[in-house]
Structure 1
Amino acid sequence: MPPPLRSLSAKLLLLTVAFVMMAEVLIFAPSVARFRETYLTQRLASAHLAILALEGAPDQMVGADLEAELLKHVGAYLVALEDPKVGRRLLLSIDMPPAIDEVVDLGRMGFFDKLGAAFVTLLGPGDRILRVLGTSPEDGVSKVEIVLNEAPLRREMINFGYRVLALSLAISLFTAALIYLSLHLLLVRPLRRMTENMMAFREDPENAERFMPLSGRSDEVGLAEAQLREMQEALWASLHQKARLAAVGVAVTKISHDLRNILSTASLMSDRLAASQDPDVKRSAGTLMTTLDRAINLCRQTLNFTREGPAVLELSRVDLHALIDEVGSELPASLAGEAEWRNEVPAGVGVEADRAQLYRVFHNLGLNALQAGATAIVLDAARLDERLEIELTDNGPGLSPRARERLFQPFTASGRSGGTGLGLAIARELARAHGGDLELRRSDAAGTCFRLTLPLSQASRQAAQ
């Protein structure tokens, strides 16, 4: 298992906290802009109230002490009111600063203007003098103007930011904990259980007790558990089948060796029977010799298949046209003139391959086609990038659906009576050893077509990998 800090649970927790904090940052910007606007609006409302107190005094005059107290309550150097009926009037002022640094008209500021002004206040020096204009929230008609120092506003905004940060951290940690627990229960623990099961199954894949137990969930985790168990059951069955086949193979190898010797002796005796002058004996001898040859060939192919290991290639430049001509001249039916072997591969086409092994591939394909009943076999080739595609097409009766299902499996896929199914299995194994492949392109009543793909050179094969 990975260390706690590098585990999936820890990563989910950190990501959740980070994402929630990012969301809080996006919320913080408009929140602090709104706080600044509210602060200034409250100052305008306080200014309006101060002016109303002044207007209630006799002759609208107050003493210097009361005027200073009203301005202190507002937090401004100057308060002015513009009444739509009588025009602009300067009402309260004390100790005016020498200059105004910025004029803020709340009525004309858009959303992004408010965002920018808020960050200027937060990040600026904080000692600017602001002239604030806006409509009084008390009556919604009067225009109020105040002049104030930005420092108290900045302090309040910083305090507000700290409160938002603390709240964001609390929300992030609480949300992250809930999400972490949910993901841990719904995802991390099932994944950990599947990982432990795979590790245990890897140590003993033939033990059926180590199959993945199903939780009964109907979501993606339940589907993954079911697929894993299905894969384990298939692998377990395959291993048991291969173990049985290995035991059978050892026995078949011993039997085939002894049986081939016995059949060779019987074949010699059948040759003597063929020399008999008795017509009935001569007729029976031909059938007997054919049967014995087929049995001997079966034993020979079985022994060769069980003894051979992975193909060891002796690479050289092979003239494909010449090789196919050689194969066609040595096929039994072709030699006897019973079938046509037509080589349409262009002269000079070559590949880097093991000539002897490539000969076996074409010989097996041709022999299979002839033994299946084909009377014409056509071979042609085409270059595709750094690969060569060779197609072998015959006019035989085609393969049965049952033969096509397990076409390249040894001992199971022969399309004719008495066949071993080894020819195509060996041909594909040799093709893949060269970095290519052998596949069935089509098989119907008009005939069968196999496609052999080979790299032009082993260097291009390695570059592609």
Structure 2
Amino acid sequence: MRLFLVTIGVILLVEFIIFLPSAANYRESWLNERVQAARIAALSLEAAPSRMVSEELSNDLLMRAEVLAVAELSDDMREQILPPAMPLEGPMKEIDMMSESYFGEIGETLETLLAENGRMLVIRGMGSGEGRVLEVILPEAPLKRGLTAYAGRILIVSLIVSITAAMLIYFLLIALVVRPIQRVTQAVIQFRQDPGSWTRRLGPTSRRDEIGRAQNALADMEEAVSDSFRQRERLAQLGEAVAKINHDLRNTLATAQLASDALSTSDDPRVQRAVPRLERALERAIGLASDTLRYGRSSTPVARLQMVRLAETVSEAAMEGIGDGGQVSFANEIDPGLTGYGDPDHLYRIAANLIRNAAEAMGEAGGTITVSGDPTRIDFADTGPGLPKRAQDNLFKPFAASSRRDGTGLGLSLSRDLARAMGGELSLVETSETGTRFRLTLPAAPPAK
């Protein structure tokens, strides 16, 4: 209703602005008609002897012209052509039709509408010859009545037009603006109440205006948030499943660790060489199970920072990541004596994940994985086919970044979390048809005490 009333008010305001020039034009036309009628009445005297007519004829001419008196001025002389039938009494308003301005006419029109009754107008216009001025005296009341009636007609027409236009604009705005905004608002409220519901989802629209863009943006946001909720639900389910099997898994690994302790007493040199690696693998497996459980609970992995032999850690991770090798070769270009500041287990898991991903990406075609770097930077490069566009757009996102059909995309996400837990970062440097390069940055070692 407020919109409807505002529309009517705006249209009436526009009509009022248009009315003022129209009323001024009506007044000018009305006055010109009276002056022209008086001029014609004055011309009728030209045929009369000595330009004299009877009083009866003079009054008849004045009545037909709807004026009270007609005179003509020239220089300092004033010739009474048609004298008034009775003495003229009351206030006089002089109007010079030959010098009125546009805005002056508008002001005079408003003055006429607001003036008191009983006033007379003295109109001066062009006379019968050069230098002559025709003076016409007439009552203002007929002009005021005419302007009032004209204003009434304009008001009625304006009301009809404004109400009709307001109704059209109102219903158009309701259909094109208000209702769509209400639907968007309702969709936002319903989505806030139940983000996972698909039945209340507001779909995209083909509208190209701001409302259409807002609705499409809302639809995209709802889909993105719903996907995020589903991923969180899957992560929660994963965490719950890991929590259920974690106890049994750790018991199994503990049994294997006891067996490795028994093997350590063997005198076989080959067993003695294999046991330390087996023990480290079991310790990492136990830690991995615990960290996976913590990830399912959305906890941040805790880093135990110390100086680590980078080449040795990367080589051990490569043995796990590449497995039996196949057609994949590995080149460790890190200086054997180089150390970096980080968590040994975190570094091992990051390197194993990156090397495993590279080996799986190259597959049976084979290729080379090269690791190089310095104390604060380790680059993992391969000669594989590169990351597809979808994997690049969803890099480091759980369940979305994997380029393999059976992959979960957790590897890169976990690796970046581990890197950040150490105060470093894992990033993609480049990827193309000739290979991919990831970079792990490590924090600088604190100064020795």
What is the TM-score with the length of structure 1 in the denominator? 0.64
How far 1:193 sits from its partner (Å)? Answer: 4.5
Equivalent pair of 1:410/1:425 in contact (CA under 8 Å): no
Q: Deviations over 1:322-377 (max 9, x none)?
A: xxxxx99635448x973355xxxxxxxxxxxxxxxxxxxx979x959985767546
**Is the counterpart of residue 278 in structure 1 residue 268 in structure 2?**
yes
The alignment partner of 1:305 has SS state of helix
Alignment of structure 1 residues 62-81 onto 2, 5 Å: 62-81=53-72
How far 1:92 sits from its partner (Å)? Answer: 1.8
Aligned partner (choices 12, 17, 23) of residue 3 of structure 2: 12
How far 1:27 sits from its partner (Å)? Answer: 0.5
Aligned residue number for residue 379 of structure 2: 396
Aligned residue number for residue 330 of structure 1: 306
Alignment of structure 1 residues 38-437 onto 2, 5 Å: 38-81=29-72, 89-94=79-84, 95=86, 97=88, 101-125=92-116, 127-135=118-126, 143-196=133-186, 205-212=195-202, 218-220=207-209, 228-274=218-264, 276-307=266-297, 330-333=306-309, 338-340=338-340, 371=351, 375-376=373-374, 394=377, 396-397=379-380, 405-406=393-394, 408-409=396-397, 421-422=413-414, 424-425=416-417
Q: CA RMSD in A?
A: 4.8
Aligned residue number for residue 385 of structure 1: none
Equivalent pair of 2:350/2:415 in contact (CA under 8 Å): no
The alignment partner of 1:132 has SS state of strand
- AA aligned to 1:250 is E
How far 1:255 sits from its partner (Å)? Answer: 1.5
CA radius of gyration, larger in: 2
**Is the counterpart of residue 29 in structure 1 residue 5 in structure 2?**
no
The gaps in structure 1 that reach 5 residues or longer are 1-9, 312-326, 342-361, 379-393, 432-437, 452-465
2: CA distance, partners of 1:234 / 1:410? 14
Equivalent pair of 1:411/1:420 in contact (CA under 8 Å): no
- AA aligned to 1:260 is R
What is the TM-score with the length of structure 2 in the denominator? 0.66
- AA aligned to 2:46 is E
2: CA distance, partners of 1:412 / 1:229? 20
Aligned residue number for residue 344 of structure 1: none
The alignment partner of 2:98 has SS state of helix
2: CA distance, partners of 1:79 / 1:377? 114
Q: Deviations over 1:377-433 (max 9, x none)?
A: 66xxxxxxxxxxxxxxx353489857764455458779xx995733644887999xx
Number of aligned pairs? 381
Equivalent pair of 2:415/2:426 in contact (CA under 8 Å): no
2: CA distance, partners of 1:224 / 1:422? 35
1: CA distance, partners of 2:81 / 2:23? 31
1: CA distance, partners of 2:117 / 2:426? 82
How far 1:246 sits from its partner (Å)? Answer: 2.5
How far 1:15 sits from its partner (Å)? Answer: 2.8
CA distance change for structure 1 residues 117 and 142 in 2, over 3 Å: closer, same or farther? same
- AA aligned to 1:166 is I
Equivalent pair of 1:443/1:449 in contact (CA under 8 Å): no
Equivalent pair of 2:125/2:134 in contact (CA under 8 Å): yes
How far 1:200 sits from its partner (Å)? Answer: 5.3
2: CA distance, partners of 1:88 / 1:428? 107
CA distance change for structure 1 residues 375 and 201 in 2, over 3 Å: closer, same or farther? closer
Stretch deviating more after TM superposition (69-78 or 169-178): 69-78
